Amino acid sequence: MRIGISMSSTSAAGGFAAPVGNTLYGASPKIAADPNSVRPYASPDGRYAAPQNGRYVPPARVSTLPKLSREARASYPEAARRAGIEGQVVLRLRVNDKGDVIEARVVESAGHGFDESALAAVKQFKFQPGTLDGAAVMTDITYTYTFLLD
Q: What is the pLDDT along the chain (150 residues), one digit of tens a residue?
A: 555 555 555 555 666 566 665 555 666 778 888 888 877 666 677 666 666 667 889 999 999 999 999 999 999 999 999 999 999 999 999 999 999 999 999 999 999 999 999 999 999 999 999 999 999 999 999 999 999 997
CA distance 50 to 39: 10
Q: Which of 39, 32, 101, 33 is nearest to 66 (CA)?
A: 101
SS3 category, 120: helix
133 class by beta-carbon count within 10 Å (0-12 exposed, 13-18 middle, 19+ buried)? exposed
Give the Å distances, CA to CA, from 76 to 34, 89, 119.
Answer: 57, 12, 12
Cα torsion for 100, 59, 145, 110, to the nearest 10°? 120
SS3 category, 81: helix
Class of domain 59-147 (CATH, top level): alpha beta
Record the pTM: 0.67
